[in-house]
Amino acid sequence: MNLHGNIKDNNKIRVISTSDIDELAQFQVNKNRRYTQLQAGKLQGHYVEVNLGEVQVFREELNAGTLIEAAPANNFVPFGAVLTNDDFNFCGKKREQNTIIQATGGFWDVSFKDSLNYVVAAFNRQSFSRDIELLTGKEIPQEWLVSKTSLTNPLALARYATGVNNIINIVQKRPEILAKENALRMIAESILRLVFNVLKIATPDIEVQAKQSNRCLGVRRVIDYLHVYSDDVPTIADLCKIAKLSERNLQYGFKEYLGVTPIRYLRLVRLNGVRRDLLISHPRKNRIVDIALNWGFIELGRFAGEYRQLFQELPSTTLNNVTMTV
């Protein structure tokens, strides 16, 4: 039984609307997602996925500032376009407007303020290479198959984003389309041409696989460490050792990468951890005080205030909502 969100899943059309970001992550098969809420707000995530055989299109919406981390499977080549809010960081670097995002294989992350609404067409790597070669008569450029962001023509990008979004909406309204082979083939070809028109005039912005600065690498080491050991409440000196950076460089690095200090990020990770545990807890077996103490929150009054400020509800409300849906 689903306790937190509304789910529709028939393999070809998959939809979830949830306030539980772990549930949102687990719903996205083979994407290896992790979400950390960074800004205050009653976060709600909406995800719609349409599977068209060798290409998948999906749309994701989040209404509060969040860090999204992922390590997708290598066999897919996704191309993302933002529908709203061009103010976001990709792998710690601020992205310009008119950016197409390639996030294939390896690791990447996106952080943003306020909200994010984006669409993606994800192709099977082999079929994408084959179809581009059939379309152009030339071997596919290898830079189209690596993780990076690229600046492109705004009109072509807008057509791509609008086209993918419209396809998702149409299939949701008329799912019987997916039973028709000719319709599937036409949709897949339309998506291929939309992305080709974006890529053929794109200029590389950054490559994720390119060597990052020591500061960025240090920040990433700390982020990964905190998601495993945040309940140990490490000191800033501990974090500097992990990052192999001075305190000043670590502070600058976090502000540049996520817009928060390392200590603030540690606190956010711990607050997200409390919420995660509350959402899977039974009130007769786990008390709020126990969970808060497990995550290193000693001043319980301050903890409750910070929790309410970030998630726009008290810890007891989170726990009671779980109880009410059982």
Q: Convert the pLDDT of each residue in 148-172 to its tens digit.
A: 888 899 999 999 999 999 999 999 9
Per-residue CA distances from 55 to 73, 147, 185, 229, 277 (Å): 14, 18, 10, 38, 36
pLDDT digits (tens, 9 = 90+) for 176-224: 999 898 999 999 999 999 999 999 998 876 665 545 688 989 999 999 9
**How is domain 214-325 classified at the CATH fold level?**
Arc Repressor Mutant, subunit A (1.10.10)
CA distance 104 to 145: 7
CATH of domain 6-207: 2.60.120.10
Residue 98 near residue 149, CB atoms below 8 Å: no
CA distance 19 to 196: 35
Average pLDDT estimate for 129-141: 94
Positive or negative, the Cα torsion across 260, 266, 267, 268?
A: positive
More confident residue, 260 or 324: 260
The proportion of the chain whose per-residue pLDDT surpasses 90, expressed as a percent, equals 67
Report the 10 Å Cβ neighbour count for 234: 20
**Any idea of the CA torsion for 296, 297, 299, 303, to the nearest 10 degrees?**
170
pLDDT digits (tens, 9 = 90+) for 30-79: 888 999 999 999 999 999 999 998 899 999 999 999 999 998 888 889 99
CA distance 149 to 157: 13
Q: What pLDDT score was predicted for residue 274?
A: 95
Residue 59 near residue 79, CB atoms below 8 Å: no
The residues, any chain, with a CB within 8 Å of residue 181's CB and separated by 6 or more, are none
Report the 10 Å Cβ neighbour count for 46: 17
Residue ranges of the chain that CATH labels 2.60.120.10? 6-207
CA distance 207 to 137: 26
Report the 10 Å Cβ neighbour count for 107: 16
Token pair 């939309």 is found at 194
**Any idea of the CA torsion for 154, 209, 28, 59, to the nearest 10 degrees?**
0
Q: What pLDDT score was predicted for residue 106?
A: 78
pLDDT classification of 1: cutoffs 50, 70, 90: very low
Residue ranges of the chain that CATH labels 1.10.10.60? 214-325
251: amino acid identity, one letter:
Q
Per-residue CA distances from 192 to 95, 159, 188 (Å): 24, 12, 6
Residue 88 near residue 110, CB atoms below 8 Å: yes
User: By three-state DSSP, how is residue 53 classified?
Assistant: coil
Residue 89 near residue 59, CB atoms below 8 Å: no
CA distance 315 to 326: 18
pLDDT digits (tens, 9 = 90+) for 294-317: 999 999 999 999 999 999 999 999
Q: What pLDDT score was predicted for residue 230?
A: 81
Residue 101 near residue 89, CB atoms below 8 Å: no
Residue 264 near residue 251, CB atoms below 8 Å: no
